[in-house]
Structure 1
């Protein structure tokens, strides 16, 4: 059966070549809708950031399919992205775990072990992880002590899940967006304090005058009034803002996607929520992809922090949105086959001076395509064996 051995060798060589080819991400620059599109030129001094979201890992509760197939390819995706794109920083925008809010500490440790194993070469690279609603739970079952414990297991987060850091002369601010939904939670107050600290620092840098505004609307579900200070700093003069939940976008004038098409806010948001039925339930019930921060909380954040750009997640799908004050918000797609068949991520390049930079949407292989290749080879061998 020399011919069968020959065919087997060819098939194995094909699979090895296929795995290498399919693991390389395909990236496309997304032109900004707020500035004239000028070709961006890479500079060695620029900061290149790989931004992923919604890994939805299961840790010790993962089955054989996840351990020996999905995790294997996810690890290859990270490795090839590292080799081909050469990022300087990795950001993970929450939902590392599919159902972390239900896990014991020992099971959470297994999720972290799975996470570090998948990261591969990125473990030696600066990286930052924020908290998502799958990681810490919804307001009804939000455990402050557990949030503190998880936050301390991740680099750069304080006990409330917020953080601030600077790399390559670019500053980043992380907010625990989930806590901002939670009424009179102590975590929410801690997040508001973090916003105020960053706002004070921004006002100190710009020496802008401030005034007090009475906000009479419901912020984060609390039926009480509060005061915020409005900064005269220019829009876009603050840090890069990292969130899990997107800001409210009901007052947006338009959405822009990778195909630069325009739709109404409601219709596009509804489109983001469409996914196969088999992927709607992950861990603890239906995943509400329409969840955003309340309108007044969103305006508070925009006014107080004047972010240079915002990166959010949660919706599993890429979108490029411009707020009324011209702040650009990029929603990063899920990088998990547990969430959708066509995962992806974002590459952001920042220049040390000015707001100029580039955003690229990167896609990785569809699970269905890889399965089709494997099944085709199996069927081919079965047919050969029957004919032999």
Structure 2
């Protein structure tokens, strides 16, 4: 009985160790090398005053696509959500960000799910992406959450706004850094209930920024001015207008031939007119987006800033999902794209390979024990 018990115990320990490594430890081993980028003094904007406050550390991810009842198999849902939960919680515990931004497509079927299922979506999202009390979490809406422009109803929009506290346009200021969060589907300029409200809010933010800077041509209400002017950071789901991804050379960029696919305005990216409107109104130093599930870093078409597109955070949409770490001060910023060997999240293929190799080793050990134990017993009786 003792050899049998020892065999079962060792087998159980081996299986548990393999599972523990592939589903928990690997995230710490991979993400521990991801560090916050350092601010470069050569990038300082000397025209912007500083407040000498501590820099803001922001973690940005996009396109979590929590699966629904129509297209999500239960095991697929379990596997992907566990991956995102472990990756996110490990990243937050290691990096300790001040703020987290999720740039749209939180859900996969939010645009046509029932109220009960949407409530379940909300509970799952806040369960998977829970943050400590001292960390702020902000989200912007994506097309999978409420639909593309012409499919959005006041009900779908209001449902998302109320659940995630995510209006079409909002201005968030953290230690002198101004983040403008925008609903990409509200930039059609056709006078609809959503677009008209977004236009008014953007005009209001434009006025606030200009009044704070001191170059607004009209009358300013100084009670609504910001304490300190700095160029804003634009955050939304859709990328700004671009023809293709051919100029994207990031490690996590789209592979060929997807790179050559032409972008459709208002579907794959903002329209050219909406892009020019945003850039001319806000003059951002940085634009951050998601939607296309692949990474990209390129110069803004207007001004000297950058646009960074963040890939999908889910294994279901990208074999090598990534996130980004940013450090902001009012007159400077730095970004660390969590990719390459520096900060890559675990690949699904790596985890599967580890399971196969670990399972093969356990099988060899089972075979060894099965053949050697009978021989030992025979020798004992001889």
TM-score by length of 1: 0.76
Q: Which residue of 2 aligns with 1:179?
A: 186
How far off is 1:53 after superposition?
Answer: 0.3
Distance 2:88 2:110 in 1: 22
* Range that drifts further, 60-69 or 366-375: 60-69
Distance 1:238 1:345 in 2: 23
Q: Which residue of 2 aligns with 1:248?
A: 241
SS of equivalent residue, structure 1 residue 58: coil
Q: Which residue of 1 aligns with 2:348?
A: 367
Residue segments in structure 2 that go unaligned for 5+ positions in a row: 45-51, 219-228, 371-382
Q: Which residue of 2 aligns with 1:21?
A: 25
Match status 1:168 vs 2:178: no
* Range that drifts further, 85-94 or 367-376: 367-376
Distance 2:367 2:293 in 1: 44
Paired residues of 1:289 and 1:314 also in contact (CA < 8 A): no
Distance 1:139 1:117 in 2: 29
SS of equivalent residue, structure 1 residue 98: coil
Match status 1:208 vs 2:219: no
Paired residues of 2:22 and 2:355 also in contact (CA < 8 A): no
Match status 1:346 vs 2:291: no
**Cα deviation digits, residues 338-386 of structure 1 (max 9, x gap):** 21111111111112x4124333324311112212222333344445445
How far off is 1:48 after superposition?
Answer: 0.6
Q: Which residue of 1 aligns with 2:378?
A: none
How far off is 1:14 after superposition?
Answer: 4.2
Paired residues of 1:272 and 1:289 also in contact (CA < 8 A): no
**Cα deviation digits, residues 268-291 of structure 1 (max 9, x gap):** 8942869xxxxxxxxxxxx99971
How far off is 1:183 after superposition?
Answer: 3.7
Paired residues of 1:56 and 1:96 also in contact (CA < 8 A): yes
- Within-5 A mapping of 1:36-185: 45-59=54-68, 62-122=72-132, 125-155=135-165, 157-158=166-167, 161-181=168-188, 183-185=190-192
**Cα deviation digits, residues 48-71 of structure 1 (max 9, x gap):** 111010000025664332453222
Paired residues of 2:287 and 2:307 also in contact (CA < 8 A): yes
* Cα 1:187/1:272, change in 2 over 3 Å: farther
Count of aligned residue pairs for this structure pair? 338
Distance 1:201 1:78 in 2: 35
TM-score by length of 2: 0.77
Distance 1:139 1:243 in 2: 15
How far off is 1:6 after superposition?
Answer: 2.3
How far off is 1:303 after superposition?
Answer: 0.6
**Cα deviation digits, residues 100-136 of structure 1 (max 9, x gap):** 1011121111111111111134576211010001111
How far off is 1:331 after superposition?
Answer: 0.5
How far off is 1:306 after superposition?
Answer: 0.8
Residue segments in structure 1 that go unaligned for 5+ positions in a row: 212-235, 275-286
Q: 1:333 aligns with which of 311, 334, 337?
A: 311
Distance 1:288 1:379 in 2: 50
- How big is the alpha-carbon RMSD for the aligned residues of Structure 1 and Structure 2? 3.6
Distance 2:252 2:294 in 1: 15
How far off is 1:187 after superposition?
Answer: 0.8
* Cα 1:293/1:268, change in 2 over 3 Å: farther
